[in-house]
Structure formats: C-alpha cells, structure tokens
Amino acid sequence: MAKTINTVTLLGLFICCALVTSVYGGNDYLWGEIGPNDYHLAKDTVSKAFFVGLVQTKKYVFKQKNDLNALTITAIKVTDKKKSNGATAVLTSGGPGSKGATIVFTSERGSGIKDLVEIWGR
C-alpha cells in the first residue's frame, strides 16, 4: 500500500512540475551555433507594452552598415525576459549564413514583449 501511495505521489509531483514549467517557462531560441572565434555583432532588447485583450507584434531587423565588409551571421540567440506569458519569435528572413536578419515577435493575448536578441558572426 505504501509503495502505491509513493508512486502516485511522485507521479503527481512530476505532472505538477511539468505544468509549472510549461506555464512559466520562457520562449528562448537559438538559431545557428556560437563558435569560439565569432564576434558579438549585436545585443538589443526588443520590448512592447501589453494592451488588455490584444496580441502584440514587433519586428526586429538587423542590418550591417557596410555591405562590403559585413560579417556573416553564425548564430542568433533570443532570451525571453518575461517569467510568464513570454512572446514567440520567428526568424522570417536572413539569419545564420547571411548578412542580416529579421525576427518577428508575437505576444500572448493581453501580454507584452520583452526579449534580448544577441547576434554573432565572423
């Protein structure tokens, strides 16, 4: 009997932990691979305030100034700074292997956007 209770208790705790992680976990992304010889090209915060009942979107565009000497992107890392209801990020153009990138962020309904974008290249 005690063995059954312990198994049920452990299973219940596991399910609770999984639910808490899915509800409160951030939406972090990594496109590409950060190498030891890569340069940190950009570090920007993308944010947009919440508005009750609406889904917020924001476009982030990374362009290098000098196309002739532009470095090739090797990795893009997006870190969600919200503890709950974080935004999703979609790499819509460019990214690793190219000279620029466009990322579109979409919040959950009634939530805002607060993400850190870091870009590496060589």
What's residue 25's pLDDT? 54
Residue 19 lies inside a defined structural domain of this protein: no
3 located within any domain: no
What phi and psi, each to the nearest 5 degrees, are found at residue 17? -65, -40
Residue 106 covered by a domain: yes
| Residue 52 counted as domain residue | yes
Domain range enclosing 115: 26-121
**The pLDDT value given to residue 31:** 97
Answer whether residue 13 is part of any domain. Answer: no
Each residue's pLDDT, cut to its tens digit, for the chain (122 residues) gives 444 454 444 334 344 333 333 444 579 999 999 999 999 999 999 999 999 999 999 999 999 988 778 999 999 999 999 988 889 999 999 999 999 999 999 999 999 999 999 999 99
Dist CA 100 CA 97 (whole Å): 9
Residue 16 lies in a domain: no
| 57 is a domain residue | yes
List residues bridging with 59 in a β-sheet.
Answer: 104
Instruction: Compute CA distances 2 → 13, 50, 66, 78, 103, whole Å.
Output: 16, 49, 70, 46, 53
User: 53 in a domain, yes or no?
Assistant: yes
| Count of structural domains, the chain | 1
